[in-house]
Structure formats: C-alpha cells, structure tokens
C-alpha cells in the first residue's frame, strides 16, 4: 500500500513529538490528529492491518504540506512523503472527503482549483512565443490577477521582452497536493512542459512558488525537459541589481512573510528582501522567518478547509503583530491570496510585485 520510504518515515514519526509545535494547522485546531506524529502513527497502523477509513482520509487532508515539520527534523525524516501517499490511498479507496473531492473534480474538469474558464489577467499585446516566458500559475490567473499584472508592468519598465500564455495549462502542483504524485499529475506536468517548450523559451520566470518548486524538483525526475527556471522575485531582484529598474526609495517599516515553498522547497530568502531594500523599506523580521517561517495557508487548502486556512493566516498575522511593522508583504500569489483575506484592523497587506510596480 505505502512505499518503503513512506513506511520508514511514518515509523520514525509515530512516537516523536519534536516538531509538533511548528505545525501551523495543529497550532490553530489544537487537535492531536493534526500533528505529524499522529499522521505517522495512523499510516504505521494501516501498514500493520488497520483499515484506512473516512476519518483517516480527512485527517490526511488537514495539512498544508508546508514542510515546517520536515525542515525542523534533526533526524532527517519527512512526513510529507507519507501524507502525500496517504492522500493517494484515500483516492484509491474512495474515502476522500466530499469537500476535497469537489476541488479534485474542478481541477480535472477545468485545470484549476477555482473551476474558472477564463483568466482574469489581461494578456493584450503579449506574444505567446519568445526567449523569456512568464509563467503565472492558477492563483495569479484566477484569484489575484493584480500580482500578474504588476509583474508584467515591472518587466516592461525594465525593457524585457517576454511572452505569456493566455491558455497556460495546469502545472500539476495543485493536483499533486490533492492526490499525491499520481499519473494524472504527471500527465498535467507533461502538458505544461510541452507548452513551455512550444513557446520557444530559453528561460521561464515563474510567479507562483508552488509551480516553481514542482518544476525544479519533480519535472526532471518525471523526464520532463525544461529551460532555465527562475522565480519572479529572483529575476526582478536581478533587474534591479543590473540597474534596469530604479525604484523610488520612499519605503517605511515593513515585515516580509516567507512563503513555505519559496522559503523551504526553494531555499529562497534574500531576493524579496533585496527588492524591499531597493524601495527604501526597513524590514522588521517576524521571529519565525526564512526556513522557519510559519505557513499562512495554501490556495488549495483554502478551497476545501476555508475555516482552518483562514485561522492559519490569522495566526501568521499574530506574528506580524509581535513586530512593530504595520505593513506586510509576500512574494507568492498564494501567500497574497491568504494574507490579504485576513488583514487585522490597523494593518496593511500589499503583494511585493504590486508594491514594486507602485514604486516605479
Ligand atoms: S519529522 Fe522528525 S521531528 Fe517531526 S515527528 Fe517526524 S521524526 Fe519527529
Ligand atoms: S507539512 Fe506543515 S501542516 Fe503538514 S504536518 Fe508538517 S508542519 Fe503540519
């Protein structure tokens, strides 16, 4: 049922308490089943003959796949391996919670978690082929289009010629989080790879860190060839350092949220901070930052457990309140979607690319 790797990780986690204090879901629900330890215990019991039932399926979806547990593990274990496989098993056994199944069905039907047919981003005048391709991802295309629109403006102001795909296909990242890395996910990834190669791009500027992480970590293993992949923050930071963008330096005090996949899967922390400094901002850090950042929720999770995802975002805002900054920013559309929906009174959230666009 589970791979040897998943069994080994589950058997290690099932009696261990060492990372539970970092789990953003357990921190807001207080439920023991939301700890990595409890999920490991359930998987190890299933492997020893316990039937996997609906409650267990639901438990496996009460996780942001944020990697805070994995990052903190002194012994090198990775709960995401068995949690993803448990989601695959839940699909095989047809015990996926109905609210999750609705999102899976939407992705399979429309290619995105929102069930949207048309992007909200304006692609007027943009070519579909060229050496530089901007890859937006579904969150920017359908939920927070201002992040995509701001990136387009920034690139034009820097004199970068670029292409973007009006019919950009799914990368596979959302379905991979919903079902584990099954054949349907690899098929979506293969189609995305074809679209990228078809654009003639030699480099791809990826706005959504979930897509960038999947492309950089899984596509190669799946035999999907890609040109150079660069995150949008790293690319824009480079444009500023080359002198192609000269932001106004009128910033004040701000704090920066490191999105989980950007900070841990991609180990990228400084480009966004460099962009903020170029605008004259003084960054007052939250106590959990860079690789230790607390997750603010994912776009996928917000679709099937909106209440928990909102509380997770509010809990991240509690970290902001412990600084003296009244402004918050982040560099991934998925962070922007979650954090802007939970802004406390007296505070302000602005996406990093929107902030930079307004400083040019
Ligand atoms: S990931 Fe590491 S620290 Fe966390 S429960 Fe597993 S073994 Fe323990
Ligand atoms: S990946 Fe994140 S949400 Fe899931 S068990 Fe680990 S710390 Fe908790």
The predicted-structure confidence for 229-270, as pLDDT tens digits, reads as follows 999 999 999 999 999 999 999 889 999 999 999 999 999 999
Q: Say yes or no: domain 4-96 is CATH 3.30.1360.40.
A: no
Burial 285-311 (b: 16+ CB within 10 A, else e): ebebbbeebbbbbbbbbbbbbeebbbb
Looking at residue 250, its pLDDT comes to 86
Model confidence over 108-141: pLDDT tens digits? 999 999 999 999 999 999 999 999 999 999 999 9
The residue to mutate among 18, 36, 71, 177, having the most atoms of ligand 2 within 8 angstroms of its beta carbon, is 36
- Cα 11 to averaged position of ligand 1 atoms, centre (Å): 10
32 CA distance to ligand 1 centroid (A)?
14
Dihedral sign for Cα atoms in the order 273, 278, 279, 283: positive
Rounded to an integer, what is the distance from CA 180 to the centroid of its chain?
15
Using CA positions, which residue lies closest to atom 6 of ligand 1?
13
Ligand 2 touching residue 22 (CB < 6 A): yes
pTM strictly above 0.75 = yes
Q: Please state which CATH class domain 132-237 belongs to.
A: alpha beta
Could you give the CA distance from residue 127 to residue 122 in angstroms, rounded to a whole number?
12
- Cα of first residue to Cα of last residue in the chain, in angstroms, is 54
Q: Which of 138, 121, 82 is nearest to 300 (CA)?
A: 138
Average pLDDT, the chain: 97
The predicted pLDDT at position 251 comes to: 81
Ligand 1 pocket test target in 7, 9, 11, 19 with most atoms within 8 Å of CB: 19
Q: Dihedral through CA 27, CA 33, CA 39, CA 43, nearest 10?
A: 180
Distance between CA 55 and CA 208 in Å, rounded? 32
Same fold, 132-237 and 247-357: yes
Pocket probe for ligand 1: among 69, 76, 81, the residue whose CB has the most ligand atoms within 8 Å is: 69
Evaluate whether 234 touches 268 at the Cβ level (below 8 Å): yes
Measured from the CB, is residue 67 less than 6 Å from ligand 2?
A: yes
Tokens of 254: 């701000």
Ligand 2: nearest atom to the Cα of 70: 6
> At 192, phi and psi to the nearest 5?
-65, -40
The CATH code that applies to domain 247-357 is 3.40.50
Nearest CA residue ID for atom 7, ligand 2: 23
Tell the residue nearest (CA) to atom 7 of ligand 1.
13
The verdict on the CB of residue 64 being under 6 Å from ligand 2 is yes
Decide whether any atom of ligand 2 lies within 6 Å of the 23 Cβ.
yes
Nearest to 53 by CA among 99, 89, 25: 89
Residue 99 CB partners (closer than 8 Å, separation 6+) = 304, 305
Mean pLDDT by 10 residues, the chain (360 residues): 96 94 96 96 96 96 98 96 98 98 98 97 97 98 98 98 98 98 98 98 98 97 97 98 96 96 97 98 96 97 98 98 98 98 98 98
Q: Which residues contact 207 (CB under 8 A, 6 or more apart)?
A: 134, 135, 136, 137, 140, 147, 148, 151, 232, 332, 333, 353
Give the pLDDT score at 266. Answer: 97
Tell me the two tokens of residue 257.
């949220």
Name the nearest CA neighbour of 46 among 31, 58, 57. 57
Alpha carbon of 89 to ligand 2 centroid (Å)? 18
Cα 208-210-213 angle, rounded to 5 deg: 110
pLDDT, residue 1, reads 83
Instruction: State the pairing for strand pair 228-231/203-206.
Output: parallel
Pocket of ligand 1 (CB under 6 A): 12-13, 16, 18-19, 36-37, 69-70, 73, 75, 77, 79
Rounded to an integer, what distance in angstroms lies between the CA atom of residue 109 and that of residue 188? 12
Structure tokens at 256: 């920066």
Cα(306)–Cα(141) distance, integer angstroms: 20
Name the residue ranges covered by the structural domains of the chain: 4-96, 132-237, 247-357
């Amino acid at each position: 049922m589970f791979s040897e790797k998943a069994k080994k990780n589950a058997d290690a986690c099932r009696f261990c308490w060492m990372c539970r204090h970092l789990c953003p879901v357990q921190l807001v629900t207080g439920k023991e089943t939301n700890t990595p330890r409890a999920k490991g215990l359930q998987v190890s019991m299933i492997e020893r003959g316990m039937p996997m039932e609906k409650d267990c399926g639901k438990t496996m979806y009460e996780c942001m796949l944020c990697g805070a547990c994995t990052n903190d593990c002194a012994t090198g274990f990775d709960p995401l391996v068995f949690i993803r496989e448990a989601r695959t098993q839940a699909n095989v056994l047809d015990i996926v919670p109905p609210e999750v199944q609705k999102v899976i069905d939407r992705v399979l039907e429309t290619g995105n978690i929102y069930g949207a047919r048309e992007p909200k981003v304006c692609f007027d005048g943009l070519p579909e082929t060229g050496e530089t391709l901007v890859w937006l991802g579904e969150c920017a295309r359908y939920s927070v289009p201002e992040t995509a629109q701001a990136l387009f403006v920034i690139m034009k102001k820097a004199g970068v010629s670029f292409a973007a795909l009006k019919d950009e296909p799914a990368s596979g990242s959302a379905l991979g989080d919903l079902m584990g890395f099954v054949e349907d996910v690899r098929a979506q990834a293969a189609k995305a790879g074809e679209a990228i190669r078809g654009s003639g791009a030699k480099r791809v500027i990826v706005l959504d860190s979930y897509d960038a992480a999947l492309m950089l970590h899984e596509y190669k293993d799946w035999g999907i060839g890609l040109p150079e992949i660069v995150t949008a923050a790293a690319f824009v930071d480079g444009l500023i350092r080359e002198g192609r963008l000269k932001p106004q330096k009128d910033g004040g005090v701000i704090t920066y949220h490191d999105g989980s996949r950007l900070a841990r899967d991609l180990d990228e922390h400084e480009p966004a901070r460099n962009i903020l400094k170029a605008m004259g901002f003084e960054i007052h850090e939250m106590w959990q930052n860079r690789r230790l950042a607390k997750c603010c929720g994912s776009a996928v999770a917000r679709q099937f457990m909106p209440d928990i995802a909102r509380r997770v975002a509010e809990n991240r805002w509690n970290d902001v309140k412990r600084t003296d900054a009244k402004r918050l920013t982040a560099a991934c559309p998925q962070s922007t979607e979650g954090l802007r929906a939970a802004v406390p009174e007296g505070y302000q959230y602005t996406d990093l690319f929107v902030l930079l666009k307004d400083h040019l």
